[in-house]
Amino acid sequence: MTVHDFTVEAADASERSLGDYAGKTLLIVNVASKCGLTPQYEGLESLYQDLHGRGLEILGFPCNQFGGQEPGTNDEIQSFCSTNYNVTFPVLSKVEVNGPGAAPLYQYLRSEAPGDFGPESGFLYEHIKKSRPEAIGTDEVKWNFTKFLVDGEGVVVRRYEPTVTPEEIRKDLDAALA
């Protein structure tokens, strides 16, 4: 099984096969409009503009599981992304990334790259330790803007915790696209 075996729902409720991205490097990100990390949209869009022509695809999945920071409808989210950050990469339908209702894609991503979120993550670690202590030491997505790098074969290569910025991922993307 690979990421290419999954189908997801687009913001307009149509289905999208991730098999359509075979041969492309993917960066899959759970996003939110009302988060302290929301400005990462700017960095993600910059990566997309710079690297899309070389085979990068970024897929944003809105999620409201962290502090209710993505309360809007799919249409409202699309408008927010376009108006505030000129996002041109696909922002798909809102999903759950943890728990019994987690999207199958996210169950798979978490199992393939459980993450290493720890004290070195700074302020966000302290926040999560207080607000979601049960998540520490698990494969759960800890917060908005967790990123998964997937190669052209659909294999999960790496997980980046929320505080890792798009700019910090650039060297890994350049290597994956080489």
Strands 15-17, 7-9: pairing is antiparallel
Neighbouring C-alpha atoms within 13 Å toward the C-beta of 37: 23
Q: Which of 35, 47, 51, 92 is catalytic?
A: 35
Q: How is 46-67 classified by DSSP, letter by letter?
A: HHHHHHGGGTEEEEEEE--TTT
Residue with tokens 């169950």: 107
Catalytic (active site) residue 81 = no
CA torsion sign for 70, 71, 74, 79 is negative
Reduce the DSSP state of residue 59 to 3 states and report it.
strand
135 exposed, middle or buried (CB, 10 Å; 0-12, 13-18, 19+)? middle
Catalytic positions are 35
